[in-house]
Amino acid sequence: MRATRPSLLVTFEPPAAQRTLIARAIDALAEVVYLADLAPAARAEALCGADVLLARNTARELRPGELAHIVKARLVQFVSAGVDFIPFRDFPPDVPVASNRGAYAEPMAEHALAMALAAAKRLFIEQARLARGEFNQFTPNRMLAGKVCGVLGFGGIGTAVAKLMRCLGMRVHAINRRGAAAEPVEWIGTPDRLDALLAAADVLVISMPLTRSTKRLIGAAQLALMKSDAILINLARGEIIDEAALYRHLASQPRFTACIDAWWIEPVRHGAFRMEQPFLDLANVIASPHNSASVAGWGEIALGRALDNCRRVLRGETPLHVIADDERMA
């Protein structure tokens, strides 16, 4: 069944509308093959012949031993931006693997903005007090204009956050691996300058991937460097922050606010939702169920961005967002 044209192998089963999107995007560049459509005996041949794989979660979509067949592949492209749950140790070592970095950047940036405003304007705190009959009209809230938005992880999401925060008049300080970016900022540094970012930030947005080096990056010592009334927003992965340390800091610093979208134990990655600390008992916590990217119609936009990278490889170009060894969790 080896095709004369290059082959794009889709390892998940997309709905009809997404199949149409895939067909239009790939067009004459390659033959599109869906693993779910194949008989068991044909799967190995399709994997051996694939030039590019488009996947959501290979751990669920491929059977034991099937990854060994993809030695010809020029790229394995994931639709999701976060791929820390993928067991990379099972992949052939010479096959490039790319995440869909920044695929959900715009809706996630809006979510960060909403959380920052809700915290600065004390919306949930005062709503709860109104429910108790308290009318605190003259309790001050805060302006974000003129303050510093720190962005830890200045990729697609971080850049989108910066653009929105600038509309409020915030100054942007950022950290990424290069210490440089095309997006205008007042200050940018490499990860070794983390302490400077934490000390300066009035609002800190975490938008970096979970890797071996970023796990528990923010602990008690780092939280102690932040302003007592800072707003911390985690859109990335719960594990980047020490859970117990964050709870202790919030309990002892009531003017500090944590906006938690990414949790430590979540259904998609772990099969359940659980927290070890009672965050929702605290008035200085704003919580959401990791739904910052859950915007109607955005799944197709994210898929289109993944397909753009597939098209690059099928045209003989270098893929974007290839995951380096030190960015892999396992």
Ranges of each domain in the chain: 7-102+297-327, 105-287
What is the predicted pLDDT for the residue at 173? 98
CA-to-CA dists, residue 114 to 15, 117, 136, 170, 205, angstroms = 31, 5, 22, 14, 12
What is the predicted pLDDT for the residue at 2? 47
Q: pLDDT under 50 in the chain at which residues?
A: 1-3
d(CA 7, CA 3): 7
The CATH number corresponding to 7-102+297-327 among 3.40.50.1370, 3.40.50.720, 3.40.50.300, 4.10.320.10 equals 3.40.50.720
What is the predicted pLDDT for the residue at 329? 75
The model's pLDDT over 264-293, given as tens digits with 9 standing for 90+, comes to 999 988 999 999 999 999 999 999 999 999
What is the predicted pLDDT for the residue at 330? 64
What is the predicted pLDDT for the residue at 3? 46
What is the predicted pLDDT for the residue at 324? 87
d(CA 286, CA 127): 13
CATH 3.40.50.150 fits 105-287, yes or no: no
Domains 7-102+297-327 and 105-287 share a fold: yes
